């Protein structure tokens, strides 16, 4: 049997199979040969059972915070690089490997009632994310939140301004969303980052190439805002978490914040920070009209997709976004 030093061998292998140069981490626990050679202090339970996939600016932090109030639900240790989000499946972190990812999660005992989850809001529209997530977590459940894509885009733009993005500071929202393909590259890039996540049907279809509809739970972001108690009830049923945790004694509307917040005592609540639920001027009418048109085909496809998935009623925001075209 002929062989070569490891590096030469690897070079030879990847020249024969270039498509394999980009790794896809599978679950070691799905293959007895892998378990055998795996470190003894690793456990398959140290992986999330469900993912909150975003998209950004739809209320993902509120959902994350509400989930953590539940005594049987825990998440990862915060990542110092990306605030609380690990952002494993989408960017360069993926190349850090499985151990890097798993080290973020506490070890929970086999069959424990503890549900681990991870929330990374940029997973939703990441091209490679569904494939990678499915390779590692084929049984995971997925939770996504949808609001009007037009409102989402505007909230994201405001977020970029607060973070002093020079392009967002230099150009109005209308400038960004109406930028044509002859506009400066930086402006086109910002436009794309602003608008692309809102093409909900496209992104959901990509997830549905890997996960079954039964594994996907869609939350109406407007309901999360106005009636989080009911939303959390439905979510627990979807996740099959028992006994049902009664959120009505843990969430209360805070008039000052204008949102539901966590109940700390009879006269005190803990709300999300200033960066969530910001005050900013209303979107210009012409910007909303442009976005209604821009998202028309995507929103129409979303209605079809939601019906196919068996959703009984179309969200109010979707009806409103489509209202000028019905």
Could you write out the DSSP letters of every residue in 241-258?
A: -SSPP-GGGTEEEETTTT
Size of the site for ligand A3P (CB under 6 A): 18
* Closer by beta carbon to ligand A3P, 119 or else 191: 119
Give the Cα separation of 197 and 206 in Å (integer). 13
CB of 170 to ligand A3P, least distance (A): 20
Beta-sheet strands, E only, within 151-296:
216-220, 251-254, 259-265, 268-270
* Closer by beta carbon to ligand A3P, 144 or else 292: 144
Candidates 76, 277, 292, 299: give the one binding ligand A3P (CB under 6 A).
277
Give the Cα separation of 216 and 309 in Å (integer). 9
Element (H, E) at 119: strand 115-119
Catalytic residue status for 57: yes
| Residue 61 found at the interface with ligand A3P (CB under 6 A) | yes
Give the Cα separation of 183 and 192 in Å (integer). 12
Candidates 188, 193, 276, 298: give the one binding ligand A3P (CB under 6 A).
276
In 3D, which of 9, 43, 187 has the Cα closest to residue 114? Answer: 43
Task: Give the per-residue contact string, 220-259, with ligand A3P (x = CB under 6 A; - = no).
Answer: ----xx---------------------------------x
- Quick check: 39 and 31 in contact, CB under 8 A? no
Choosing from 12, 36, 42, 57, the catalytic residue is: 57
Candidates 121, 137, 232, 287: give the one binding ligand A3P (CB under 6 A).
121
Residue ranges in contact with ligand A3P by CB under 6 A? 56-62, 121, 155, 158, 224-225, 259-260, 272, 276-278
Which residues are tagged catalytic? 57
């Amino acid at each position: 049997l002929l062989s070569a030093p490891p590096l030469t061998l690897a070079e030879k292998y990847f020249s024969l199979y270039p498509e394999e140069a980009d790794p896809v981490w599978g679950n070691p626990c799905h293959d007895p040969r892998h378990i055998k050679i795996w470190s003894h202090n690793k456990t398959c339970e140290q992986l999330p059972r469900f993912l909150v996939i975003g998209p950004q600016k739809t209320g993902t932090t509120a959902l994350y915070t509400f989930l953590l109030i539940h005594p049987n639900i825990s998440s990862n240790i915060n990542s110092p690089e990306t605030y609380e989000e690990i952002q494993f499946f989408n960017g360069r972190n993926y190349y850090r490997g499985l151990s890097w990812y798993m080290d973020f999660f506490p070890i929970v005992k086999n069959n424990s009632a503890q549900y681990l989850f991870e929330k990374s809001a940029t997973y939703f529209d990441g091209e490679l994310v569904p494939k990678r997530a499915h390779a590692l977590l084929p049984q995971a459940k997925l939770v996504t939140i949808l609001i009007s894509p037009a409102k989402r885009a505007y909230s994201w733009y405001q977020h970029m301004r607060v973070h002093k993005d020079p392009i967002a500071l230099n150009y109005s929202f209308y400038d960004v969303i109406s930028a044509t393909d002859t506009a400066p590259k930086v402006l086109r890039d910002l436009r794309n980052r602003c608008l692309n996540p809102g093409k909900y049907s496209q992104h959901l279809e990509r997830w549905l190439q890997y996960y079954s509809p039964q594994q996907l739970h869609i939350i109406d972001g407007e309901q999360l805002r106005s009636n989080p108690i009911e939303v959390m009830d439905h979510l627990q049923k979807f996740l099959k978490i028992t006994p049902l945790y009664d959120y009505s004694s843990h969430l209360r509307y805070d008039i000052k914040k204008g949102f539901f917040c966590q109940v700390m005592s009879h006269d005190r609540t803990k709300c999300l920070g200033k960066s969530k639920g910001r005050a900013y001027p209303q979107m210009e009418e012409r910007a909303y009209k442009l976005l209604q048109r821009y998202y028309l085909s995507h929103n129409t496809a979303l209605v079809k997709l939601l019906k196919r998935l068996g959703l009984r009623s179309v969200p109010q925001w979707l009806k409103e976004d489509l209202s000028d075209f019905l």
